[in-house]
Amino acid sequence: MKFGVNTWVWVSPLTTADVEKLVPLVKQMGFDWIEFPIENPDGFDYQQAGELVRDYGLGVSVAAVIGPDRDLVHPDKTIQANGLAYVRHCIKATQTMGASTLMGPMYSAVGRTWQATPAERAQDVDLLVQQLSQLASVAADHGVTLCLEPLNRFETSFINLAAQGIEVIDRVNHPACQLMLDTFHMNIEELSIDDAIRAVGPRLRHFHACENDRGAPGSGHVPWPDVAQALRDIHYDGPVVIESFTDKVKTIARAAAIWRPFATSQDALAQDGLMFLKKLLNSE
């Protein structure tokens, strides 16, 4: 199992200078995986990032950032088209970096919530299946797998549960379109985190290990032994990535509701979380 960290722990948006600083730091801390978000297309040099990651022997994944103008199920077709173009850009960037996983809530804008009737929801799901089917074909051509992420109810009203993600993925029915899960969101939405992981089963291709308050894994009340057992039960051997944010960057702090620090430093958050996860998941 690979243990990773998203660069949002330290910075937002990511720049080439940040990549040059963070890749050696992440390696030095003992991680074997790093995750790069693409907030602004071409905000950092994808080719250079990929070369640096390879030089340090790290695995890499990419996070799609779905904002108001990138919404794949928005009523405005111009916004839908822009969302499709953005995901295509991220697919190509993922390939350029030598990564094979592009993850995130690739459906509607983070923060957009709406009350839908069953018929309206069915129509939105139909549209998403159509959009993801197109994108999965593009992803496959570039050696990339899309990993759809359910979010909590405060960040979307559309896909909150593993079961809702399963519905979409099974209808798309393409090997390049799978699921990821995040314990922060699951802790809010799922009746049983471990049962949800087992239900996803082989569809699970990426995993975020996050504490209930976004702090270091192991510092809160997520039922980690149950999480570990469920991952073993489905024979998951993909990356386990810490995703947190810093309150020092006001834009991301506001977007992710990060109003206070969760550790003595962001380095400590990453290091403590890594030590906990290695002990948890490397033990039988």
Distance CA 81, CA 77 (A): 6
Catalytic residue among 149, 155, 190, 211: 149
The identity of residue 178, as a single letter, is Q
- The reply to whether 149 belongs to the active site is yes
Catalytic residue among 39, 189, 243, 284: 243
Distance CA 178, CA 144 (A): 11
Distance CA 44, CA 60 (A): 15
**H helices within the chain, ranges in order?**
16-29, 46-55, 77-96, 118-141, 162-172, 183-189, 193-200, 224-233, 250-256, 266-281
In terms of DSSP bridges, do strands 177-182 and 2-6 run parallel, antiparallel, or are they unpaired? unpaired
CA 174 to chain centre: 19
Locus of tokens 């958050």 = 269
Q: Which of helix, strand or coil describes residue 149?
A: coil
- The reply to whether 20 belongs to the active site is no
Query: What CA–CA distances, in Å, run from 108 to 34, 85, 160, 191, 272?
Result: 25, 14, 12, 24, 33
| Residues assigned a catalytic role | 149, 243
